Amino acid sequence: MSGIDTLPPLRDVIAAHGLSARKALGQNFLLDLNLTAKIARAAGDLTSCDVLEVGPGPGGLTRGLLAEGARRVLAIEKDARCLPALAEIAETYPGRLAVINADALGLDVSAHLAPPIKVVSNLPYNVGTELLVRWLTPPAWPPVWQSLTLMFQREVADRIVAQPGSKAYGRLAILAQWRTTARIALTLPPEAFTPPPKVHSAVVHLTALPAPRYPADPAVLERVVAKAFQQRRKMLRAALKGLAPDIEDRILAAGLTPTDRAEQIPIEGFCALARAVAG
Ligand code: SAM
103 Cβ below 6 A of ligand 1: yes
Structure confidence by residue, pLDDT tens digits, 74-117: 999 999 999 999 999 999 999 999 999 999 999 999 899 999 99
- For residue 18, pLDDT over 70 is answered with yes
Residue 5 belongs to some domain of the structure: no
Domain finish residue from 165, 183, 208:
208
Same domain, 190 and 229: no
CATH number, domain containing residue 51: 3.40.50.150
Residue 249 belongs to some domain of the structure: yes
- For residue 221, pLDDT over 50 is answered with yes
Same domain, 158 and 270: no
pLDDT band at 3 (very low <50, low <70, confident <90, very high): low
27 Cβ below 6 A of ligand 1: yes
- For residue 232, pLDDT over 90 is answered with no
pLDDT band at 1 (very low <50, low <70, confident <90, very high): very low
Same domain, 160 and 245: no
Residue 33 belongs to some domain of the structure: yes
Same domain, 240 and 178: no
**In testing the pocket of ligand 1, which one of 77, 99, 186, 194 has its CB within 8 Å of the most ligand atoms?**
77
Residue 48 belongs to some domain of the structure: yes
Same domain, 141 and 201: yes
Structure confidence by residue, pLDDT tens digits, 55-70: 999 999 999 999 999 9
Cα of 194 from ligand 1 centre, angstroms: 13
**In testing the pocket of ligand 1, which one of 54, 63, 66, 129 has its CB within 8 Å of the most ligand atoms?**
54
Same domain, 98 and 162: yes
Domain finish residue from 185, 208, 231:
208
CATH number, domain containing residue 229: 1.10.8.100
Same domain, 158 and 252: no
Same domain, 204 and 240: no
Give me the percent of the chain exceeding a pLDDT of 90.
95
Domain finish residue from 150, 185, 208:
208
Cα of 111 from ligand 1 centre, angstroms: 21
Residue 105 DSSP symbol = G
Same domain, 118 and 222: no
Average pLDDT over residues 254-279: 96
Structure confidence by residue, pLDDT tens digits, 157-186: 999 999 999 999 999 999 999 999 999 999
Same domain, 129 and 153: yes
29 Cβ below 6 A of ligand 1: yes
15 Cβ below 6 A of ligand 1: no
104 Cβ below 6 A of ligand 1: yes
128 Cβ below 6 A of ligand 1: no
pTM: 0.96
Give me the percent of the chain exceeding a pLDDT of 70.
99
Name the amino acid, one letter, at 92: T
Same domain, 193 and 224: no
∠ CA 15-34-94, nearest 5°, is 70
Cα of 167 from ligand 1 centre, angstroms: 29
Same domain, 195 and 131: yes
10 Cβ below 6 A of ligand 1: no
Residue 50 belongs to some domain of the structure: yes
As a whole number, the mean pLDDT across the chain is 96
Q: What is the DSSP string of 12-71?
A: HHHHHTT----GGGT--EE--HHHHHHHHHHT---TT-EEEEE--TTSHHHHHHHHTT-S
124 Cβ below 6 A of ligand 1: yes
79 Cβ below 6 A of ligand 1: yes
55 Cβ below 6 A of ligand 1: yes
Reduce the DSSP state of residue 207 to 3 states and report it: strand
Residue range of the domain that includes 127: 10-208
Name the amino acid, one letter, at 266: P
- Kind of pairing, strands 117-122 and 145-153? parallel
Number of structural domains, the chain? 2
Residue 213 belongs to some domain of the structure: no
Residue 171 belongs to some domain of the structure: yes
